[in-house]
Structure formats: structure tokens, C-alpha cells
Structure 1
Amino acid sequence: MKVTNEPASRREGETDMLFEIDPASVRTEYELLHLMRRLISRYGFAHFMIARLPMADEQRFSERLMLSNWPAELVQQYDASETFQASLLIERLRQTKLPIAGGPELMEPARKGAGKAPAILLPPHADMAHFAVLLHTTYGEPFVVVLSGKRDEPAGGERATLYLALVQLFECLERTFDAGSGAREKLSSREIECLRWAAAGKSSDEIAIILGISAYTVSSYFKSATRKLDAVNRMQAIARAMRMKLI
């Protein structure tokens, strides 16, 4: 498949992204976000995302998402349709340790009838090519890394360079998992319960009924848990709690 727009050309004398990364110097997700943006700009991609590999019994796509610049509307669409976990991209990644690349068809359901929504492509992915790799943490937890954009599929040396750069960036991400864990306050049993039920898809009102407390109290537990986990919202707090194996 041929798509438009070649990768942005590199300035003469500019070193490869691969050799600019010092994993030991990256301590925060903000620093990693900056590096990911530089990487996709360098190679002509528009979007990136890093997420835990979908499992049959896991929660929504948005709660597996670790780092991305995907539009919020796109994440919500994949949540509602359950298309991502049923996609050809995920099926192919489960079958190989090598990077995969392809066009918009990678985001389509691998089998007819998979997912909750019809087999339609979700914008802006309807006209983008994708480059994806499956990477594992030191403890063997699988993660999916996807770069998307209106450009030709990476090939040859560029493909190898991108893969190695993503391995290094993923190591940076894994370091951020541990960097703040010692400084974070310990979650209370109630906070953990609220996060666990939220990860299972329960609303604040439902959690309040299950735990026999008010919805206001549930909300206060979420706020304190979010602060202790240094997260920006409930969704990120759930993701970080799962990453730290607290829920």
C-alpha cells in the first residue's frame, strides 16, 4: 500500500535518534513524552501510543494505555467499539517478536464480528500507516508500541533504527515505573478497593453501594489515591496502581 507524505528529512550532520537516548537520564513520563514526540517528528509519524497488551479478561483500552498523544475522542471510540483488542495488529503481534508494519487494515478486526462495533476504521486512523512492536518489561509484562502516520512503511535500516530506538525508549518508560514508587505514599485499603472496582468497570455510584459508603466518600478516595500515585486523573491512577501490582 502506498500512502502520501515522505518522512521529514533530517538535517545534515544530525545524529540518529537512537544515539541521543540516555535511558539513565530519563526520570519522568514528561521527559519520555518529549522524547517520543521528537522521535515521531524525526521519522514523519503523527501519533504514538504505548499500552499493555490486551488480555481476554482485562479492562478497557483506555485503562491499559500508558503513554500516547492519541486524541481523547479516538481513545473513547476504541473503548466503545472494543476494536483495538480484536484488531489484526494485535493478532499479528501475538505471533511474532519482530516489528510489523502496514496500512489502515491493521486497525480493522482480525475476524468478522469481532468487537462490539461494525468493522469500520476509526478516524484519524482511516488513512494512516502503522509501525508496531511488542516489548516486554524486565518481569515479562507485554506492551504494545504503535507509531502511526501518513507515510510509507519503514524498511531496511530505518526499520531497524526505529525498532532499537523504541526498545531504548521503552527501557526509559520502565525506569519511570520504579523511579517514584519509593516516594509515593502507601494507599489505604479503601483506596485500593475503590481502584480495583473501578478497574472492573464499576461507576462511583456502584462502588458506593458495594462498599456501603456514599458516592461522595468514594470520590474522596479516588482523589487521595490519584494524589498518592502522582496521577493526573482516575484513569491514570488505575493504570499506575496496576503497574505497581497494587490491584
Structure 2
Amino acid sequence: MEKLPAQFGFKAFSLMTVPAPTDRSLGAIMVKTTLPRRFISEFDAHNLLTQCPLSSMMKSMALPLGWRCDRSPRREAGLAFPDPQVRLMEAFGLPAGAAMTLHSSSNAAYIMRLDGERSLLTLPELNELGMLFLQAFRVFDRLQQAEKTPHARLTCRELEVLRWTSQGKTSSEIAEILSLSEYTVTAYLNKAIKKLDCVNRTQLVAKAIRLQLIT
């Protein structure tokens, strides 16, 4: 996702949950973003989430949507951005954008979007961007699902072996510390690698630390 903005001439990307009727803050629904913090703060200070036409439109859209807002009299149908939002987007160099609504495997609704300064996206560009949004979101969703249950899948012994591995111990050294055979230690590690969907010990340790299974 970090490469997409530059690829399409934008500045920033965001992943957020689809706003609920009770949501008032952009910062509160943001999952990942490279937007400036000050932009989000000022956006929320002006209570723009409830006024933004995209908030309601994106709930029912299955295809990517592109836009460009300015202070000219012309407004695209359904995209009459309030003047404070137009001024804010122009001030931060973010008058143009594209977004798509996506649903996770648990049916949670998210929005992926790009923001920046460029002309309105062409239809071929929107189609290409839609495919890239889908691919990126599938990876995000898979990681989210994998991170929900790993704690229950690793046994105490597997975690113990994993902790020693994270400290740089070899299978032979761990076997001596835990009074196990080297074969048994390797078997524990291989099971942990499979359970956490990793390819080797290095990735296993990195993922276990990220999931806070070990410290």
C-alpha cells in the first residue's frame, strides 16, 4: 500500500472502517494511514466526518470511486464537499482522491483510499487501482485473521522452545537446556512454524514478537 500513492500520483493512503452513524472522528476509525496527523486533527476539529459526502456514499459502493474537489461552482453529483473540507484538502495538497469499500472475511466493512494532488482518475486507472486495492486488502484480512487465534494454537512447550530460539539458541543448545532430544526440539519448532504460517525460524521469531507471544 505504501507504494500505491506514488504509482498513481497521490501522496497518501489510508485504511479505515466504514463510518457508522454514531462516528464523529476520522482518527477513531483510522486503521492505517500516511496522512499528516495535523490534517486528521483539523478534519476532526471541524467535525467534517459527518458532513463529508463520501461517508454515506461509500457504504453502498462496490466499485472504486474517484473525485477531485475544488471551490469552483461545479460539483459532481452527490459529491458536494463542504467548503471547510475543500479548504482543508487544498491547504494540505489533498484535493483529489480515490477510494473503495471492501469487506473482510468476517463481513466487517473497510475503506481503502488514496489522497493527493492530481487530475481526476481515468476509468482504466480506476479499474487497475480497484484490483490493487483488492489484492492489498486480501493480504491485510489474512493477517488479521491469523493474528486472532495464534495464542491458543501454540502449546506451552512450543512457546518455551520459541523463547529460547528468540535468544539465539540452537536446537542442540535448547535440547540440553530443556533435557529434550534435538529431534524433539526441532519438531516443536516445525509445528510452531506451521501453526503461525511461517516459512522459517527467523520469520517465526519475528511474528511471535509482533504478536506479543514472546518478548
- Class of the TM-score when normalised by the shorter of the 2 chains: 0.5 to 0.7
Residue 15 of structure 2 is aligned to residue 42 of structure 1: no
TM-score by length of 1: 0.52
Distance across 1 between alignment mates of 2:85 and 2:116: 21
Residues matched between the structures, number: 147
RMSD, aligned CA: 2.8
Provide the residue aligned with 2:28 in structure 1: 63
Q: Give the counterpart letter for 1:38 in structure 2.
A: K
Contact 2:16 2:32 in 1 (8 A): yes
Provide the residue aligned with 2:107 in structure 1: 140
1:113-137 CA distance string (max 9 Å, x none): xxxxx56532445652111111111
1:49-106 CA distance string (max 9 Å, x none): 1100111224632121111101111111222222124301223223432221111355
Deviation of the 1:146 alpha carbon: 1.3
Provide the residue aligned with 1:27 in structure 2: none
Inter-CA distance 184–97: structure 2 relative to 1 (3 Å threshold): same
Q: Give the counterpart letter for 2:96 in structure 1.
A: A
Residue 50 of structure 2 is aligned to residue 77 of structure 1: no
Deviation of the 1:176 alpha carbon: 2.1
Provide the residue aligned with 1:162 in structure 2: 129
Contact 2:13 2:115 in 1 (8 A): yes
1:129-169 CA distance string (max 9 Å, x none): 11111111122211111111211222132211100100111
Provide the residue aligned with 1:90 in structure 2: 55
TM-score by length of 2: 0.59
Identity %: 20
Contact 2:27 2:44 in 1 (8 A): yes
Provide the residue aligned with 1:130 in structure 2: 97
Consecutive unaligned residues of structure 1, counting only runs of 5 or more, are 1-35, 113-117, 186-226, 231-247
Contact 1:83 1:108 in 2 (8 A): no
Consecutive unaligned residues of structure 2, counting only runs of 5 or more, are 71-78, 153-208
Q: Secondary structure at the match of 1:51?
A: strand
Runs of 4+ in structure 1 over 4 Å off: 123-127, 227-230
Q: Which has the higher contact order (CA 8 A, sep 6+)?
A: 1
Q: Secondary structure at the match of 1:84?
A: coil
